[in-house]
């Protein structure tokens, strides 16, 4: 059985950027089934190549993942595989035909033969919608073993999704370690920090740019922002005095000018007076939220449709009449033309605005155009909410700006004057303590733990901690 089949990211890409590297470089004839833990591209991106290589088994995944998998792969195919629509459709049809949606908590037999058998069960991993960890019951002759693959585990207290519960048993555990050496801020702290960054945007009419993956973080952020608007909606934000601005581009903002950003064609000068009375105060209700990504919009819709998989808090909000993922201040940008207009408009108009765009590590996608237009202006803010892999522009912005730093985008150098923030908790990955609690929570400790999916330092740090927490286990870092 194969667990996940993803694309490389960041520095790893040097191993996986050419078509030859994307090809499946391991034997597949003996693989009976593919289990997908969740639909992030670093876990599913090479499935089309797996099929092309001749894999003909089922693709087992949770029910939400079964809905999202063809969507994410369609996007990946369009970007990296081919422009041939008919070929894309054939691949997608094949994937739809192979997908076996498995409800959480239900055992499923992969095969049962005289010599041995294999069953799998998916449990909620709390990472993104549909994410699962995989319990496997493997029987070979008279030997039986329970092996658990963590997939990506979510952070407890993340918005929208219930947190993962430790498995009831695991003889052998394969666990991720993305944040094996770090802990996250608690939810209140990061909510407070998100609020502070957004208030800063409201004060000086800057744009807060949030590079985010289409699935998971975008929806968590929308959920938190909707909560802030609901709580502070009418609260006035003190306006920063801009002093003399020779260009005359004082970011005057009137609540009346808060028409939806849909009208991007409108000249930014058109909706604000060049002189005249002091502008009126702003409230949280004036903050515009833009999701500039057709894919993120699509997944936000899927998240909205799958409310039964939300956690209790989120479902209670819906019951109380709130719309956590579709609120008044939210604008979605689909077409490329609207995207370019939005970049241009926001760079000039200085409206307080939050833009969520991909890619999450700034290595491509629409966020790059925003960065080019916005990094040079101190009024703007870049807010990182997710892991930035070594070698990505995101990691460089985080490391070098804005203390005289610069970043290279599409071969050109851009100075960073925008403020750079990071709020760790929206990463959707469990932090070190969460990973340890997950392992400690297994009633009978595993005899072997394998650490995967993390930087070298993160793996080592987690290994050290796990050896103390479960001394009876052999803790390995597979090479
Ligand atoms: Zn993931």
203-231 residue pLDDT tens: 888 899 999 888 888 999 999 999 999 99
How far apart (Å, rounded) are the C-alpha atoms in residues 173 and 473?
10
How far apart (Å, rounded) are the C-alpha atoms in residues 290 and 282?
18
What's the mean pLDDT when you consider all of the chain? 86
- C-alpha 263 to ligand 1 mean position (Å): 35
pLDDT confidence band for 270 (50 / 70 / 90): very low
- C-alpha 127 to ligand 1 mean position (Å): 7
The fraction of the chain above a pLDDT of 70, given in percent, is 87
- C-alpha 428 to ligand 1 mean position (Å): 8
Q: What is the mean pLDDT of residues 122-127?
A: 96
Closest to 420 in 3D by CA, of 383, 370, 367: 383
**pLDDT at residue number 189:** 86
pLDDT confidence band for 263 (50 / 70 / 90): very low
- C-alpha 105 to ligand 1 mean position (Å): 20
How far apart (Å, rounded) are the C-alpha atoms in residues 118 and 137?
6
Q: Which helix (H) or strand (E) holds 69?
A: helix 63-80
- C-alpha 152 to ligand 1 mean position (Å): 5
- C-alpha 132 to ligand 1 mean position (Å): 10
pLDDT at 166 over 50: yes
- Tell me whether strands 116-124 and 132-140 are parallel, antiparallel or unpaired: antiparallel
pLDDT at 236 over 90: no
- C-alpha 399 to ligand 1 mean position (Å): 23
- C-alpha 16 to ligand 1 mean position (Å): 18
- Beta bridge partners, 61, equal 101
pLDDT confidence band for 63 (50 / 70 / 90): very high
Q: Specify which of 69-78, 97-106, 201-210, 317-326 reaches the highest per-range mean pLDDT.
A: 97-106
- C-alpha 249 to ligand 1 mean position (Å): 42
DSSP state of 443: S
Residue 294, number of CB atoms within 10 A of its CB: 17
- C-alpha 250 to ligand 1 mean position (Å): 42
**pLDDT at residue number 469:** 94
- C-alpha 231 to ligand 1 mean position (Å): 30
- C-alpha 41 to ligand 1 mean position (Å): 8
- C-alpha 40 to ligand 1 mean position (Å): 5
- C-alpha 44 to ligand 1 mean position (Å): 10
Q: Specify which of 149-158, 168-177, 290-299 reaches the highest per-range mean pLDDT.
A: 168-177
pLDDT confidence band for 264 (50 / 70 / 90): very low
**pLDDT at residue number 18:** 53
**pLDDT at residue number 16:** 44
- C-alpha 320 to ligand 1 mean position (Å): 31
- C-alpha 38 to ligand 1 mean position (Å): 7
- C-alpha 404 to ligand 1 mean position (Å): 33
pLDDT at 355 over 50: yes
pLDDT digits (tens, 9 = 90+) for 463-477: 999 999 999 999 999
- C-alpha 433 to ligand 1 mean position (Å): 18
pLDDT confidence band for 75 (50 / 70 / 90): confident
- C-alpha 151 to ligand 1 mean position (Å): 8
- C-alpha 42 to ligand 1 mean position (Å): 7
**pLDDT at residue number 427:** 54
- C-alpha 110 to ligand 1 mean position (Å): 24
Q: Note the pTM of the prediction, 2 decimals.
A: 0.83
pLDDT digits (tens, 9 = 90+) for 8-17: 765 554 444 4
Q: What is the mean pLDDT of residues 51-56?
A: 94
How far apart (Å, rounded) are the C-alpha atoms in residues 162 and 189?
19
- C-alpha 366 to ligand 1 mean position (Å): 21
- C-alpha 469 to ligand 1 mean position (Å): 25
pLDDT digits (tens, 9 = 90+) for 418-473: 999 888 666 578 999 999 999 999 999 999 999 999 999 999 999 999 999 999 99
Point out the least confidently predicted range of 257-266, 282-291, 313-322, 403-412.
257-266
Q: What is the mean pLDDT of residues 118-132?
A: 96
How far apart (Å, rounded) are the C-alpha atoms in residues 219 and 213?
10
- C-alpha 215 to ligand 1 mean position (Å): 9
- C-alpha 453 to ligand 1 mean position (Å): 10
Q: What is the mean pLDDT of residues 38-49?
A: 93
- C-alpha 243 to ligand 1 mean position (Å): 45
pLDDT confidence band for 280 (50 / 70 / 90): low
How close are the terminal C-alpha atoms of the chain, in Å?
A: 20
24 preceded by cis ω (within 30°)?
no
- C-alpha 154 to ligand 1 mean position (Å): 9
Closest to 387 in 3D by CA, of 224, 213, 220: 213
**pLDDT at residue number 156:** 83
- C-alpha 248 to ligand 1 mean position (Å): 46
- C-alpha 191 to ligand 1 mean position (Å): 22
Closest to 346 in 3D by CA, of 370, 330, 316: 370
Q: How many helices (H) and strands (E) does the chain have?
A: 15, 21
**pLDDT at residue number 199:** 86
pLDDT confidence band for 200 (50 / 70 / 90): confident
- C-alpha 297 to ligand 1 mean position (Å): 18
pLDDT confidence band for 258 (50 / 70 / 90): very low
Closest to 361 in 3D by CA, of 393, 408, 405, 406: 393
pLDDT at 278 over 50: no
């Amino acid at each position: 059985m194969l667990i996940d089949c993803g694309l490389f990211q960041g520095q790893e890409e040097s191993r996986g950027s050419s078509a030859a590297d994307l090809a499946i470089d391991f034997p597949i004839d003996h693989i009976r089934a593919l289990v997908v833990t969740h639909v992030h591209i670093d876990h599913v991106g090479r499935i089309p190549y797996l099929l092309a290589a001749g894999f003909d088994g089922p693709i087992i995944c949770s029910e939400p993942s079964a809905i999202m998998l063809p969507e994410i792969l369609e996007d990946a195919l369009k970007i990296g595989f081919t422009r041939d629509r008919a070929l894309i459709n054939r691949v997608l049809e094949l994937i739809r035909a192979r997908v076996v949606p498995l409800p959480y908590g239900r055992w499923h037999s992969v095969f049962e033969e005289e010599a041995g058998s294999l069953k799998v069960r998916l449990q909620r991993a709390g990472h993104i919608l549909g994410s699962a960890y995989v319990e496997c019951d493997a029987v070979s002759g008279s030997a039986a073993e329970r092996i658990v693959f963590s997939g990506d585990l979510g952070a407890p207290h993340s918005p929208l999704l219930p947190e993962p519960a430790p498995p009831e048993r695991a003889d052998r555990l394969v666990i991720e370690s993305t944040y094996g050496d770090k802990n996250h801020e608690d939810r209140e702290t990061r909510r407070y920090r998100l609020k502070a960054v957004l208030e800063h945007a409201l004060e000086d009419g800057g744009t807060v740019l949030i590079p985010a993956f289409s699935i998971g973080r975008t929806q968590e952020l929308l959920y938190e922002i909707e909560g802030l608007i609901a709580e502070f909606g009418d609260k006035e934000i003190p306006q920063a005095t801009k002093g003399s601005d020779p260009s005359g581009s004082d970011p005057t903002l009137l609540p009346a000018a808060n028409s939806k950003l849909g009208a991007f064609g409108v000249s930014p000068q058109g909706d604000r007076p060049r002189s005249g009375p002091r502008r009126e105060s702003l409230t949280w209700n004036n903050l515009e939220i833009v999701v500039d990504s057709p894919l993120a919009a699509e997944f936000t819709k899927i998240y909205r449709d799958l409310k039964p998989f939300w956690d209790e808090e989120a479902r209670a909000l819906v019951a109380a009449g709130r719309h956590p993922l579709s609120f008044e201040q939210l604008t979605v940008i689909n077409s490329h033309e609207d995207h370019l207009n939005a970049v241009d408009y926001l760079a000039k108009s200085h409206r307080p605005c939050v833009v969520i765009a991909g890619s999450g590590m700034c290595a491509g996608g629409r966020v790059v155009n925003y960065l080019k237009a916005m990094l040079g202006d101190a009024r703007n803010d870049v807010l990182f909410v997710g892991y930035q892999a070594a070698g990505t522009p995101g990691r460089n912005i985080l490391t070098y700006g804005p203390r005289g730093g610069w970043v290279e985008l599409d071969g050109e150098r851009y100075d960073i004057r925008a403020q750079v923030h990071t709020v760790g908790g929206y990463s959707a990955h469990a932090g070190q303590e969460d990973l340890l609690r997950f392992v400690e929570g297994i009633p009978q400790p595993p005899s072997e733990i394998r650490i995967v999916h993390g930087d070298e330092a993160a793996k080592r740090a987690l290994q050290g901690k796990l050896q103390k927490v479960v001394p009876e286990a052999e803790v390995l870092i597979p090479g």
